[in-house]
A and B are shown apart, each in its own frame.
Chain A
Amino acid sequence: DTAVSQTPKYLVTQMGNDKSIKCEQNLGHDTMYWYKQDSKKFLKIMFSYNNKELIINETVPNRFSPKSPDKAHLNLHINSLELGDSAVYFCASSHKHSGTKLGQETQYFGPGTRLLVL
């Protein structure tokens, strides 16, 4: 069973198009994230949702809009795609267990969606 899954795995599209990436986790976690990894492997957090509510929204263009229909899903919609959006996008999830402190959680990553904008 896949813990954190993303679709599609590859996405090739033209500049100006709108696209969505879907993420699902079956771990029962309460927090989900979107990360962007650039061509130099630098990993940057974009958004974080806890129990369907947005808790972290880093400096990301308004063209990126996350949506969490329920705790197990966090989708990412991108409008008017630009060349600079080409990257690998990772979904991740985590859960704060009782007896642990905030910040100790392990992040579980999906396999990534490789986006190429032409």
Chain B
Amino acid sequence: AQSVTQLGSHVSVSEGALVLLRCNYSSSVPPYLFWYVQYPNQGLQLLLKYTSAATLVKGINGFEAEFKKSETSFHLTKPSAHMSDAAEYFCAVSPSVTGGSYIPTFGRGTSLIVHP
């Protein structure tokens, strides 16, 4: 079974500071990994995803994440936080088996707080 652990339910940074949101996964097969963002009172939208191509994945709004198999991690980073980045961030994993159905598993989310 696949699972993700997001370390820290809340992360607080100052505007302009580095953003680092942590995600570790557990999977019995090579995983596909996703980061979604949820702004207040909205649905989730995809930031970026890893599908076994390049290990460093660039997403929207200046975010990127690096897949590290040895560390079973897929941490999300952004060099400089903006006030508009304040949101809930979800890491998700899905199995890479072909055929049949799959269930994407979401982490419990990390709330990013950006201070002026």
Interface of A toward B, CB cutoff 8 Å: 4, 40-45, 48, 50, 55-56, 58, 90, 92, 100-104, 106-112
Q: Could you tell me if B108 and A40 are in contact, using CB atoms closer than 8 angstroms? A: yes
Q: Could you tell me if A41 and B109 are in contact, using CB atoms closer than 8 angstroms? A: yes
Q: Could you tell me if A41 and B108 are in contact, using CB atoms closer than 8 angstroms? A: yes
Q: Could you tell me if B44 and A104 are in contact, using CB atoms closer than 8 angstroms? A: no
Contacts of A111 in B (CB 8 A): 41-43
Q: Could you tell me if A107 and B49 are in contact, using CB atoms closer than 8 angstroms? A: no
Contacts of B101 in A (CB 8 A): 48, 50, 55-56
Residue contacts A-B, CB under 8 angstroms, 13 given? A41-B38, A43-B90, A44-B106, A48-B103, A56-B101, A58-B103, A100-B51, A101-B32, A101-B51, A103-B32, A106-B49, A107-B44, A109-B45
Other than the given A101-B32, A101-B96, 19 more pairs (CB < 8 A) read: A43-B44, A43-B109, A44-B106, A48-B101, A56-B103, A92-B43, A103-B32, A103-B96, A104-B32, A104-B51, A104-B96, A106-B34, A106-B46, A108-B45, A109-B36, A109-B43, A109-B44, A112-B41, A112-B43
Contacts of B41 in A (CB 8 A): 111-112
Of B88, B96, B100, B103, most A-chain CB atoms within 10 Å: B103
Contacts of B38 in A (CB 8 A): 41
Query: Is B24 an interface residue, CB under 8 A from the partner?
Result: no
Bound CA span A112–B41, Å: 8
- Write the nearest CB–CB distance from B63 to chain A, whole angstroms: 15
Query: Is B94 an interface residue, CB under 8 A from the partner?
Result: yes
Bound CA span A55–B106, Å: 19
Bound CA span A58–B104, Å: 12
Q: Could you tell me if A102 and B99 are in contact, using CB atoms closer than 8 angstroms? A: yes
Q: Which residues B1-60 have CB closer than 8 A to chain A?
A: 32, 34, 36, 38, 41-46, 49, 51
Bound CA span A49–B75, Å: 31
Bound CA span A110–B104, Å: 17
